């Protein structure tokens, strides 16, 4: 099964993808091209990848940044295209 996360990581998109991951009946490939977004949603999606009953391969197609990088790293297998690049940064837990 092929899934896609393009654009901002939002609670709605992460919830939809998590439902598809948890209901998977075959191996999953998740293609990513996202600069990031909501950190809590990204961590939740990464947890859903860990709980998926089948192996999840994550593929970096373009920019993979911030919370999308957490999602990418959760894949059992990780592939990076030549055009991909990553952005990592610290996370603030309080204001």
Q: What pLDDT is stored for residue 88 in this prediction?
A: 81
pLDDT at 90: 75
According to DSSP, the residues that pair with 5 across neighbouring strands are: 32
Per-residue pLDDT 10s for the chain (95 aa) are 999 999 999 999 999 999 999 999 999 999 999 999 888 999 999 999 999 999 999 999 999 999 999 999 999 999 999 999 998 877 665 66
Q: Which tokens hold the place of 34?
A: 């996202």
Distance CA(69)–CA(53), nearest Å, equals 22
Helix then strand then coil, % of the chain, to nearest 5: 35, 35, 35
Q: Give me the pLDDT at residue 68, please.
A: 94
Predicted structure pTM score: 0.90
Q: What per-residue confidence (pLDDT) applies to 94?
A: 61
Side-chain-side CA neighbours of 78 within 13 Å: the count stands at 11
């Amino acid at each position: 099964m092929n899934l896609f996360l393009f654009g901002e990581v939002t609670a709605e998109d992460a919830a939809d993808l998590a439902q598809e991951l948890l209901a998977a009946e075959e191996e999953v490939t998740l293609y990513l091209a996202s600069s990031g977004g909501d950190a809590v949603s990204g961590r939740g999606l990464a947890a859903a990848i860990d709980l998926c009953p089948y192996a999840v391969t994550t593929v970096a197609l373009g920019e993979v940044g911030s919370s999308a990088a957490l999602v990418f790293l959760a894949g059992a297998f990780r592939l990076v295209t030549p055009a991909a690049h990553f952005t990592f940064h610290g996370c603030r837990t309080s204001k």
